[in-house]
Amino acid sequence: MIHAVIMAGGKGTRFWPVSTPERPKQLLRLFDERTMIEQTMLRLQPFIPTERQYIVTIEEQVEEFARQVPGLRPDVFITEPFARNTAPCIGLSAVHLSKIDPEAIMVVLPADHRISDKDAFHETLQTACNFVDESDGIVTIGIHPVRPETGYGYIQYERDEFRPGTHRVVTFAEKPNRETAIKFLETGEFLWNSGMFIWSVQRILSELEEHTPELHSALMEISDALDDPNGADRIYRAYQSIKPISIDYSVMEKTRNAYVVPASFGWSDIGSWEEVYQLDEDRDVNDTVQHGPVVTIDTKGSYVVSRTDLPLAVIGLDNVVVVQTDEGTLVCPRDRLQDVGKASEIIHKLKS
């Protein structure tokens, strides 16, 4: 059967002051009244019903998830003792799913995406799952690029289909500079790397064993400890021994079994305030977004939000993000938003 694993362990420091360690990004309500994790779970239905969806997150966030998203079933969480990047997160999830359904096909996706065409999304997942079922390959979803984006990784692929809707991966490329991104688009051979994956649980565990044997060994210790009623300490120690590593670096860039399904379903990776600004269509004549008790004068191309009852005035500034909450106030040029996470970490240390 097909199961979904939603990776939701990030702290969302790039969304300070709305996001905090106690209120991570996946619990934010950025575009409507639903949290990002709720939107992700709803988007999967009915292709993958709720009872076959799992949230993998760190222990310290579970209580807040349960509070913010009422109605979650008790066994929805696959819990990491602490964050160790995407390869351990995915490996731990595969171990858990192998106990539930040894023949499971595993759809892995982050909790912080926005997708506008749900039907096209389901069609893409169906193509990928059919391929995995027939070939036992590992599949990633590639997004047809619409601009020379420097904030995403890229996938180079063979133009000829390997099977209907599916292509062999040639190589993975890191986030490029603008000149390189333009060249990628001109070739017509590159897709945005969405960070979504489809494979069988046995295949991904086999790939981890081949390419990261130390990680696989720790996962097998955890698998054995899961059957032990007193195995919590063993799980903690085994996970503590794991070195952080991404699934791209550990498996996808090394495997001989990587394939991609190119897709167009209105995809955005909500990674910073810039993406929120770009996606918000509620703009004034100066291309500025305003929410809350806000006043702007001679301000263009900006995102100005107050999530308090206090008024916020921005005068004579262009291309800035200003966000005011009870937690604090962010004032940042849009071309410096990569530093918001750094500021958030410093503020958190000052408070603790």
For the stretch 202-258, pLDDT in tens is 999 999 999 999 999 999 999 999 999 888 999 999 999 999 999 999 999 999 999
pLDDT value at position 200?
98
Instruction: Identify whether residues 291 and 258 lie together within a single domain.
Output: no
Single residue among 249, 269, 289 that ends a domain in this structure: 269
Question: Judging by beta carbons within 10 Å of its beta carbon (0-12, 13-18, 19+), is residue 220 exposed, middle or buried?
Answer: middle
- The mean pLDDT of 272-299, rounded to a whole number, is 95
CA distance 45 to 50: 7
Q: Which domain holds residue 303?
A: 273-351
Q: Are residues 287 and 142 in the same domain?
A: no
Model confidence over 81-116: pLDDT tens digits?
989 999 999 999 999 999 999 999 999 999 999 999
Q: Within this chain, do residues 217 and 293 fall inside the same structural domain, yes or no?
A: no
- For residue 252, which of 190, 186, 174, 150 has the smallest C-alpha distance? 174
Could you tell me the pLDDT band of residue 151, with boundaries at 50, 70 and 90?
Answer: confident
**Both 219 and 149 in a single domain?**
yes
Of 227, 254, 269, the position where a domain reaches its end is 269
Residue 24: the pLDDT is 85
**Structure confidence at residue 159 (pLDDT):** 94
Together in a domain, 252 and 294: no
DSSP-derived pairing of the beta strands 258-263 and 138-143: parallel
Read off the pTM: 0.92
CA 257/CA 197 separation, integer angstroms: 13
Please give the pLDDT value at position 60: 86
Say whether both 90 and 58 belong to one domain: yes
What pLDDT sits at residue 351? 79
Q: Which of 78-92, 161-175, 243-257, 336-350 has the lowest mean pLDDT?
A: 336-350
Question: What is the tally of structural domains in the chain?
Answer: 2
Rounded average pLDDT over 138-164: 95
Residues 49 and 79 in one domain: yes
Cα(104)–Cα(2) distance, integer angstroms = 6
Confidence (pLDDT) at 196? 98
Q: Residue 155 belongs to a domain with what CATH number?
A: 3.90.550.10
| Cβ-contact 236, 139 below 8 angstroms | no
In this structure, are 264 and 323 located in the same domain?
no
Among candidate residues 246, 269, 292, the one where a domain is terminated: 269
Does position 20 have pLDDT exceeding 90, yes or no? no
Q: Residue 137: which pLDDT band, with cuts at 50, 70 and 90?
A: very high
Quote the pLDDT of residue 100. Answer: 96
Tokens read off for 175? 């986030």
Same domain, 261 and 300: no
Q: Are residues 73 and 203 in the same domain?
A: yes
What is the model's pLDDT at position 143? Answer: 97
Mean pLDDT of 143-171: 95
Mean pLDDT of 9-19: 87
What's residue 297's pLDDT? 97
Distance, CA of 7 to CA of 108 (rounded, Å): 7
Same domain, 152 and 216: yes
pLDDT at residue 21 greater than cutoff 90: no
d(Cα 71, Cα 312) in Å, to the nearest integer? 36
In percent, how much of the chain has pLDDT > 90? 84
259 and 298: one domain?
Answer: no
Residue 11 has pLDDT above 80, yes or no: no
Question: Cβ distance 40 to 48 under 8 Å?
Answer: no
At 22 the pLDDT is 75
Q: At 327, which amino acid appears?
A: E
Tell whether the model's pLDDT for residue 12 goes beyond 80.
Answer: no
Arithmetic mean of pLDDT over the chain: 94
